């Protein structure tokens, strides 16, 4: 049979493995960096071990390279097995449970008499490196469930037995690396040598199956890369990320606080942070009004029957909160789309009314487990910059393209690069095949029309429709899920949304779900880390701080502050009887963009000595010159996207 490999057609015999086929098509260097293969069979795509025999219906085979996202995922999963093998040798009697790859690494949970600590890391890493150096192959075996239960039962691995007994299949697969055999679906890297660079990171406790009624296990986190250079770069990135941690900076800048004993996973916004957030919100509302959106607001609670009608109750209820009012059950909204559809349905609609673009900075609640809460990046209550566009099918591509243009403008405002992916239908979903195919096709057309490179994330769409996902890249190269554009043919039908066409007949609109920042809290957390707390001048709560040299300059400092406030500049006057150097350091720690120093000479001349937060000194400037400087600095980021900053 013929199989396509990176644009080449390769003749394949029925017994040949993925490794043999890739060797025919790839150069030596490219072949040596392949750790697995992606096979396309009857329209389905899945990963294969290199030693796997190619399925008879395979039409395309793609190498999975070690430095790709999928390749790193396989390396890290295999590194978890390598770590388990090392620990079993070093600590006889330990029992193994599960060890998946996760974002940026892997972990494995162990049942051990005395929990592990980072003091054990050197010995474990040394044994892991020995296993890696021997380039032990990963081999796969498929056996019956009963055989697997006996095998793991005989070795005392009762956690594996429990997992197997919960599997609804006649057979299971095992992977062996040296003397260690683990229950695993795979695939894995060809041999341990591909996990060339490993590092153990931390330890924690974890309940078996995440249930606090079960035994506490000892979890070890680690990471792995294909080479030491990539690992070293990642370690440096993590050190820089620690310096930029928004949780620490948020406390130091007094932007926000958390009180876990009162409201875990919910933010207390302090005056400076609330002012910054309000500036961002006000700008964003004005920008949406300019682009033809109508601002709306829906209620926090809707009857449970409404969530059942939408499909959220079946597909999302584990992430929702519920309450009862006078014996009626209500769901606290985890998203805003239902209310926006009900607003649309509130009045009859004609084709002349379309598109309807509803925008809401809507507060939503989602039930996140305490173990995943992380500062502003993962909270239980947050605000979405949510919008829903209801339009005629023929308007859909244009509306999507307009949203893409908005995303481009927004990313340029903060200097973010970004990656785009089109996410397709997941296994758990609603709607017809035709609707999903049409929605996916229009998303791809819009992305291609915009000239954006993109990847396909198979099976990662929302339960009601496919989507465009945008991952921004911050200044140290980390990726953050940000904007999303989702096409939905299904919910308008479930809620019987209609409009009257030119011919007087009733038609069904299409709905676009879109968010640009996503969670406002999360986006602010990303911004703080991106700028290391030194927010751009237009967004800084205090754009300038007036500092007196002596108490005698207080009246001049207050007069200067008043003139700047009248010009629309956010300013604070520090007239305390403190040394100037102390006040300058405080202003720098507060990341204030401009420090305006007023001594006797500056007071007489009607201005201030201007110093920047990075230490630059611009010398004496008049009030008018200071206003012009701050204005120009604040307005600069908006010019590229054709947007405007208001000092009102």
Mean pLDDT taken over the chain: 92
Query: What was the pLDDT predicted at 641?
Result: 66
pLDDT at position 648: 55
Least-confidence region, from 273-282, 358-367, 470-479: 470-479
Number of structural domains the chain divides into = 4
Nearest to 647 by CA among 623, 630, 624: 630
Active site residues: 337, 366, 384, 386, 388, 467, 513
Instruction: Say what the pLDDT of residue 58 is.
Output: 78
Residue 40 lies in domain: 2-65
107 and 56 within one domain = no
* Contact indicator for 42, 57 with CB cutoff of 8 Å: yes
Asked if the structure places residue 104 within a domain, the reply is yes
Question: Which CATH number goes with the domain that contains 553?
Answer: 3.40.50.800
Each residue of 392-415: pLDDT tens digit? Answer: 999 999 999 999 999 999 999 999
Tell me: cis bond preceding 187? Omega within 30 of 0 counts.
yes
The whole-angstrom separation of Cα 70 and Cα 57 is: 23
Task: Check residue 323 and give its pLDDT.
Answer: 94
- 149 and 19 part of one domain: no
Query: Tell me: the pLDDT tens digits for 466-511?
Result: 999 999 999 888 899 999 999 998 889 999 999 999 999 999 999 9
What would the pLDDT profile of 135-177 be if each residue is shown by its tens digit? 999 999 999 999 999 999 999 999 999 999 999 999 999 999 9
| Structural domain contains residue 208 | yes
Note whether 296 and 422 are same-domain residues: yes
Please indicate, yes or no, whether residues 471 and 562 belong to a single structural domain of this protein.
no
**pLDDT tens for each residue of 532-576:** 999 999 999 999 999 999 988 899 999 999 999 999 999 999 999
- Give the pLDDT score at 320: 92
Instruction: Check whether 431 has a pLDDT greater than 90.
Output: no
Task: Please indicate, yes or no, if residue 190 is contained in any of the structural domains.
Answer: yes
We report the CATH number of the domain holding residue 353 as 3.30.930.10
Does 247 fall in a domain?
Answer: no
Mean pLDDT for the stretch of residues 79-85: 97
Tens-place pLDDT, residues 595-641: 999 999 999 998 999 999 998 999 999 999 999 999 999 999 998 66
Distances (CA, A) of 13 to 1, 53, 319: 7, 10, 49
The residue from 65, 83, 110 where one domain ends is 65
CB atoms within 10 A of CB 200: 20
**Which pLDDT tens digit goes with each residue over 168-180?**
999 999 999 999 9
* Alpha helix segments (H runs only) across 91-200: 121-133, 145-154, 158-165
pLDDT number for residue 647: 66
Residues 90 and 214 in one domain: yes
330/62: higher pLDDT: 330
If asked whether residues 333 and 383 sit together in one domain, one would say yes
How many C-beta neighbours within 10 Å does residue 527 have? 21
pLDDT one-digit tens code per residue, 2-21: 777 777 777 767 778 888 88
* pLDDT for residue 271: 97
Model confidence over 216-261: pLDDT tens digits?
A: 999 999 999 999 999 999 999 999 999 999 999 999 999 999 999 9
pLDDT above 90 (res 458): no
| Contact call for residues 81 and 180 (beta carbons, < 8 A) | yes
The pLDDT of residue 311: 86
* Residues 517 and 425 reside in one and the same domain: yes
CA–CA distance, 95 with 155 (Å, rounded to integer): 10
pLDDT of 423 higher than 80 = yes
- Judge if 315 and 432 occupy the same domain: yes
| Sign of the four-CA dihedral 84, 85, 88, 94 | positive
For residue 389, pLDDT over 90 is answered with yes
Mean pLDDT over residues 83-89, rounded?
96
What is the pLDDT at residue 210?
A: 83
Question: How many Å separate Cα 344 from the centre of its chain?
Answer: 30
Percentage of the chain with pLDDT > 90?
A: 77
> From CA 248, how far away is CA 243, in angstroms rounded?
9
Same domain, 93 and 55: no
């Amino acid at each position: 049979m013929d199989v396509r490999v990176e644009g080449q057609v390769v003749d394949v015999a029925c017994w040949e493995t993925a490794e043999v086929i890739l060797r025919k098509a790839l150069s030596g260097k490219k072949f040596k960096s392949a750790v697995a293969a992606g096979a396309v069979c009857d329209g389905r795509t899945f990963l294969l071990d290199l030693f796997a025999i190619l399925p008879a219906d395979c039409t395309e085979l793609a190498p999975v390279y070690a430095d790709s996202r999928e390749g790193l995922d396989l390396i890290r999963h295999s590194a978890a097995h390598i770590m388990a093998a090392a620990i079993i040798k070093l600590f006889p009697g330990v029992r193994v449970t599960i060890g998946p790859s996760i974002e940026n690494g892997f972990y494995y949970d162990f049942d051990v008499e005395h929990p592990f600590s980072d003091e054990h890391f050197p010995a474990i890493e040394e044994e892991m490196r020995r296993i890696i150096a021997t380039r032990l192959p990963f081999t796969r075996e498929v056996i019956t469930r009963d055989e697997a239960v006996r095998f793991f039962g005989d070795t005392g691995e009762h956690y594996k037995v429990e997992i197997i007994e919960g599997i609804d299949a006649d057979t299971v697969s095992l992977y062996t690396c040296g003397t260690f055999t683990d229950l695993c679906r795979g695939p894995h890297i060809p041999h341990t040598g591909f996990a060339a660079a490993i590092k153990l990171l931390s330890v924690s406790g974890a309940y078996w199956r995440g249930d606090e009624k079960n035994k506490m296990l000892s979890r070890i986190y680690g990471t792995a890369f294909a080479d030491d250079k990539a690992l070293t770069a990642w370690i440096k990135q993590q050190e820089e990320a620690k310096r930029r941690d928004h949780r620490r900076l948020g406390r130091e800048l007094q932007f926000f606080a958390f009180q876990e004993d009162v409201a875990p996973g919910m933010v207390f916004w302090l005056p400076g942070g609330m002012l910054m957030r309000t500036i961002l919100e006000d700008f964003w509302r004005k920008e949406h009004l300019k682009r033809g959106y109508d601002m709306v607001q829906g209620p926090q609670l809707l009857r449970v029957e409404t969530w059942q009608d939408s499909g959220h109750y079946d597909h999302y209820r584990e992430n929702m909160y519920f309450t009862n009012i006078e014996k009626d059950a209500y769901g606290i909204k985890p998203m805003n789309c239902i209310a926006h559809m009900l607003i649309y349905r509130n009045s009859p609609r004609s084709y002349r009314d379309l598109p309807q673009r509803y925008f809401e900075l809507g507060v939503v609640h989602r039930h996140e487990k305490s173990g995943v809460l992380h500062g502003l990046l993962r909270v239980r209550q947050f605000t979405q910059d949510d919008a829903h566009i209801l339009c005629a099918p023929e308007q859909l591509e244009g509306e999507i393209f307009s949203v893409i243009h908005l995303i481009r403008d927004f990313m340029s405002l903060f200097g973010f690069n970004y990656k785009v992916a089109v996410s397709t239908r997941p296994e758990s979903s609603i709607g017809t095949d035709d609707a999903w195919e049409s929605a996916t096709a229009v998303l791809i057309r819009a992305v291609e029309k915009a000239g954006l490179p993109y990847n396909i994330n198979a099976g990662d769409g929302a339960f009601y429709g496919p989507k465009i996902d945008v991952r921004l890249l911050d200044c140290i190269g980390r990726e953050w899920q940000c904007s999303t554009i989702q096409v939905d043919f299904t919910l308008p039908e479930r809620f019987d949304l209609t409009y009257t066409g030119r011919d007087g007949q009733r038609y069904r609109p299409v709905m676009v779900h879109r968010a640009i920042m996503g969670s406002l809290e999360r986006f602010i957390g990303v911004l703080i880390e991106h700028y290391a707390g030194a927010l751009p001048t237009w967004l800084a709560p205090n754009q300038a701080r007036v500092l007196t040299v002596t108490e005698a300059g207080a009246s001049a400092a207050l007069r200067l502050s008043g003139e700047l406030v009248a010009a629309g500049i956010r300013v604070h006057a520090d007239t305390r009887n403190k040394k100037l150097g102390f006040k300058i350091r405080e202003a720098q720690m507060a990341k204030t963009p401009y420090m305006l120093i007023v001594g006797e000479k500056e007071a007489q001349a009607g201005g201030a000595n201007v110093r920047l937060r990075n230490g630059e000194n611009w010398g004496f400037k008049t009030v008018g010159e200071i206003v012009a400087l701050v204005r120009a600095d604040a307005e600069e980021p908006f010019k590229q996207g054709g947007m405007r900053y208001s000092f009102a």
